[in-house]
Chain A
């Protein structure tokens, strides 16, 4: 059996490619047994979206102070998928009294549902607002019961949940690929075995790129130092493992150079 590799899972989100189609949101909902977000749950502000697409309207700089006057053809819709940033220095982790959330040795911020007692301290302490609490017992319509993913726990009420980087798929990759003689997890083997997280697999424009930051050949390792890279709320010092690549604006000179 091959020497088990050390992994550090990470994701690159190329904002330039995102069209805001929400395929990642739907894929995530169905892969991870997330309860249906009804109109009611949005009104209660208790909707669960492990990955969400934030939408912004951008106006030219000269209209910054009076956006409503900008000519419509210059107003751009901007999209930013936001998911758990799997921070290396996560504010949510030290505050959990029962280790329901902790950092595993593969760089993931994991959530152990059956340990969670529901203090909700982690959600208070998450600057990205990507933690979701089950205020109600989740229910699915009868005809959707059979679509529940058997690899993912169905959470009960009173439990905190969030993006896991589809840890069930990553674990399957580790057993299936690394279980073989000389098996090595690469971008290619992850993609071929359908081991990528559901959002990554569903993304039609390859906005979301998942991989091993420890593997120098992986796409994420190459992109993480791209001149366009930034991290969300970098100033807080959470050191996320999700790296964003900024939008290329053809109207700006410096962006063209990075191309």
Chain B
């Protein structure tokens, strides 16, 4: 049984649409600020594209650096949407309701941002059209399907397409609600967008079937996307510490870990910004915190296994990478920070119910997870490459240039800005889903027993 007072339909409509109709002072200010940061990152990227990749800190052994780290990080964040929506929808977890839309939208935006990174990384974005976009029949060269870099965009684009569909299907009833409350051009736009939703039983049935079908179909995509992203590393024979069969599950669970943590941050922020205290309640943070303990511990298992697998083979190259990570400063400091911020600090916090029920402490724990997960990708990618100087035995290193740092900060601003803009035109909490939850909450007394008023027919 859920906490919180029961809300009327009218209250729900008013409350959840206030992000659309109210114009608080902070809103345009923060959108502008984020926009300026994004523009700064675009300028940095433009400068880099104009000057060449020499302006980055990349060098001969370390050909992949911050950009690829950030790519993997945002792909990881995108795993939250499906984890929360599809899995929890299929398993009928009641507490998922206020989290699903935000998680799905975060998926879409973080995937888009992630896909920007290879474009920036390659340094000549116009050339990438030869890569996966319309196949270059003119030259008779088919892309190399053996390359993990072909699997990767295929998987990510499939995931992007299906998650956009997923968001859209769930948006339909809400779009109709907005249509009914708007006039003029807005009304026309929302009428087109809601595809003539009238709310009759046939439409509801189709919408529910589509949602469940997509949930089930998106799950294999969800697992495969980060597995395939991990193939970018595990398929590399020459980089010993990358070449590991444990990478796919390790990356998938890591992605879920950082993704769910990111959803918690988004939920706490929107609860605060749009005053949705009645919708996003401590019980939701509590449930997410408990889920995160399980996910984090699963991740920790794979992390330890990956470390042990590296040592088990007794290969000099791999042992030297582990030694580099754990014993050589400053890398060992980054390593300790990474393990602490990803597992021990947040899980230690989540063990207490009072922390789990406090949105701001949850944000602290989840920011810590995401700092750790960003470092995790960085510590997988760079030390593996830096140790490769097999013939002159020197360890080379990598330090990001300001250009790279600005672009990375820009991606965070971009995702935040897109989320805010989305909240301006669409409700970030599914209205119909909350109403459904309210109906399922109602109880009636029959004789001496209290029973649910409505039983879901499956």
Interface of A toward B, CB cutoff 8 Å: 44-47, 54, 80, 82, 91, 94-99, 102, 115-121, 123-129, 132-137, 157-158, 232-233, 236
Q: How far is the CA of A46 from the CA of B61 in the complex (A)?
A: 9
| Known interface pairs A45-B60, A119-B121; 12 further A-B residue pairs with C-beta atoms within 8 A, sorted by A's residue number | A47-B60, A95-B235, A99-B144, A116-B127, A117-B131, A119-B149, A124-B239, A125-B238, A129-B60, A135-B54, A157-B53, A158-B124
Please pick, from A102, A125, A129, A157, the residue contacting B390 in the complex, using a CB distance under 8 A. A129
Complex contact A117–B128 (CB within 8 A): yes
Verify if B64 is at the interface (C-beta below 8 Å from A).
yes
Please pick, from B53, B61, B132, the residue contacting A97 in the complex, using a CB distance under 8 A. B132
Complex contact A236–B143 (CB within 8 A): no
Verify if B236 is at the interface (C-beta below 8 Å from A).
yes
Q: With a CB–CB cut-off of 8 A, which chain A residues contact B52?
A: 134-137, 157-158
Q: With a CB–CB cut-off of 8 A, which chain A residues contact B337?
A: none
Complex contact A115–B130 (CB within 8 A): yes
Q: With a CB–CB cut-off of 8 A, which chain B residues contact A135?
A: 52-54, 56, 58-59
Contact A45 to B238, CB < 8 A, known contacts A117-B127, A135-B58, A157-B52: no
A-B pairs under 8 A by CB, number: 130
Prevailing SS type, chain A contact patch: loop
Question: Which of B63, B141, B144 has the most A CB atoms < 10 Å from its CB?
Answer: B63
Q: List 14 A-B contacts (CB under 8 A).
A: A46-B60, A54-B391, A91-B238, A95-B148, A96-B147, A98-B144, A116-B127, A119-B118, A120-B58, A124-B236, A127-B390, A129-B390, A135-B52, A136-B51
Q: With a CB–CB cut-off of 8 A, which chain B residues contact A115?
A: 130, 141
Interface of B toward A, CB cutoff 8 Å: 51-54, 56, 58-61, 63-64, 118, 121-124, 127-128, 130-132, 141-144, 146-150, 232, 235-239, 385, 388-392, 396
Nearest opposing residue in chain B for A130, CB measure: B391
Q: How far is the CA of A137 from the CA of B56 in the complex (A)?
A: 14
Please pick, from A46, A127, A232, the residue contacting B59 in the complex, using a CB distance under 8 A. A46
Complex contact A95–B122 (CB within 8 A): no
CB distance from A35 to the nearest CB of B (A): 12
Complex contact B391–A128 (CB within 8 A): yes
CB distance from B152 to the nearest CB of A (A): 9
Nearest opposing residue in chain B for A233, CB measure: B390
CB distance from B319 to the nearest CB of A (A): 16
Nearest 4 pairs of A and B residues by beta carbon = A45-B59, A120-B63, A135-B54, A97-B149
Q: How far is the CA of A46 from the CA of B57 in the complex (A)?
A: 11
Nearest opposing residue in chain A for B238, CB measure: A127
Complex contact B391–A117 (CB within 8 A): no
Complex contact B59–A44 (CB within 8 A): yes
Q: How far is the CA of A11 from the CA of B146 in the complex (A)?
A: 28
Q: How far is the CA of A115 from the CA of B391 in the complex (A)?
A: 29
Please pick, from A44, A47, A236, the residue contacting B54 in the complex, using a CB distance under 8 A. A44
Please pick, from A91, A97, A117, the residue contacting B124 in the complex, using a CB distance under 8 A. A117
Q: With a CB–CB cut-off of 8 A, which chain A residues contact B64?
A: 120, 124
Complex contact A91–B237 (CB within 8 A): yes
Q: With a CB–CB cut-off of 8 A, which chain B residues contact A125?
A: 236-239
Complex contact B122–A80 (CB within 8 A): no
